[in-house]
């Protein structure tokens, strides 16, 4: 999980670097197309079956995950890296809330506390962003967390239905790639050049390493410990942002991020 967290942080770095010459839709397209090629090629070599009776659930998960990824990459491109990552990591808080609203689950006291701490942290974190960088990037960063939490409900359903993990990841990548191809018909493709190809390759490789490491961690490790270690992504992102772009965090930002992280840890304990 530590490797996954560092790789997700590195992915954010490559997104921010590539955003200088490529649009958000293109960045998401290249990130997911890489996963389609790698996972699809590995499945073909292993003679694994692509057919699934759960295509409807895959479509729901894929569409929610794709829009979440668009919002997330836009936020990374326009916000300090640690801020964008932290807003995306509100997903456990929203997952707990949506489990109540959509599935009728009962929210225990620790869940209520997680909600309160999480929303307080979000408001605190977004206040300077709202005034200095505009509202859109902050709202889309938060929306990425909401949609990611929603998509995790469908991931859970797919897991409970016995769907193979690789097919869940593959169909998400495939749906996102097709979505990117569709959206790019209404935009201008920017060429890959010697200047941006390293960032695009770094984006694809880091995302794939992160996904595989995270999947392995949840498979063999203790779920609660692994979930808590995932917040190291925020720490790595803060470090990368400070070293590469001098985005040094003040005490208010650190306090707000701490509240959001604590909220996620409490929400995962419910």
- 3, 226 Cβ separation under 8 angstroms: no
Q: Which domain holds residue 65?
A: 2-268
Are 60 and 10 a contacting pair, CB within 8 Å?
A: no
Distances (CA, A) of 195 to 21, 23, 192: 9, 15, 8
d(CA 246, CA 248): 6
Q: Going residue by residue through the chain, which has 270 residues, state the pLDDT in tens, using 9 for 90 and above.
A: 899 999 999 999 999 999 999 999 999 999 999 999 998 999 999 999 999 999 999 999 999 999 999 999 999 999 999 999 999 988 888 888 888 888 888 878 887 888 888 888 888 888 765 666 667 888 999 999 999 989 988 888 888 888 888 888 899 999 999 999 999 998 888 989 999 999 999 999 999 888 888 877 877 777 767 778 888 899 999 999 999 999 888 888 888 889 888 888 887 765
Count of structural domains, the chain: 1
The reported pLDDT for the residue numbered 220 is 75
What's the rounded Cα separation, in Å, for the pair 164 and 169? 9
Half-sphere exposure (CA, 13 Å, Cβ side) for 232?
Answer: 16
Helix (H, G, I), strand (E, B) or coil at 194: coil
Q: Where are the alpha helices (DSSP H) in the chain?
A: 2-18, 24-45, 55-78, 81-88, 91-103, 109-132, 135-160, 165-183, 197-220, 223-229, 232-245, 251-268
pLDDT of residue 119: 84
Cβ atoms of residues 11 and 85 within 8 Å: no
- Determine the pLDDT at residue 133: 61
């Amino acid at each position: 999980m530590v490797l996954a967290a560092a790789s997700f942080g590195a992915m954010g770095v490559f997104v921010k670097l590539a955003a200088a010459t490529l649009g958000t839709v293109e960045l998401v397209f290249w990130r997911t197309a890489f996963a389609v090629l790698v996972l699809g090629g590995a499945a073909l070599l292993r003679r694994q079956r692509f057919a699934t009776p759960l295509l409807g659930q895959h479509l729901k998960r894929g569409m929610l995950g794709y829009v979440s990824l668009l919002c997330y990459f836009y936020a990374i491109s326009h916000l300090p890296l640690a801020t964008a990552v932290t807003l995306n990591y509100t997903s456990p808080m929203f997952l707990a809330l949506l489990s109540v609203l959509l599935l009728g689950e009962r929210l225990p006291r620790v869940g209520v506390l997680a909600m309160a701490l999480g929303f307080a942290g979000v408001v605190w974190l977004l206040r300077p962003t709202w005034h200095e960088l505009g509202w859109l990037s902050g709202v889309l960063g938060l929306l990425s967390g909401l949609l990611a939490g929603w998509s995790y409900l469908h991931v859970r359903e797919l897991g409970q239905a016995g769907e193979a993990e690789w097919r869940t990841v593959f169909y998400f990548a495939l749906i996102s790639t097709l979505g990117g191809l569709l959206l790019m018909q209404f935009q201008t493709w920017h060429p890959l050049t010697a200047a941006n190809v390293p960032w695009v390759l770094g984006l694809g490789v880091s995302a794939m390493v992160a996904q595989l490491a995270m999947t392995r961690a949840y498979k063999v490790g203790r779920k609660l410990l692994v979930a808590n270690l995932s917040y190291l992504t925020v720490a790595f992102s803060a470090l990368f942002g400070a070293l590469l772009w001098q985005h040094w965090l003040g005490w208010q930002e650190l306090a707000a991020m701490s509240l959001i992280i604590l909220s996620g840890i409490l929400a995962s304990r419910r």
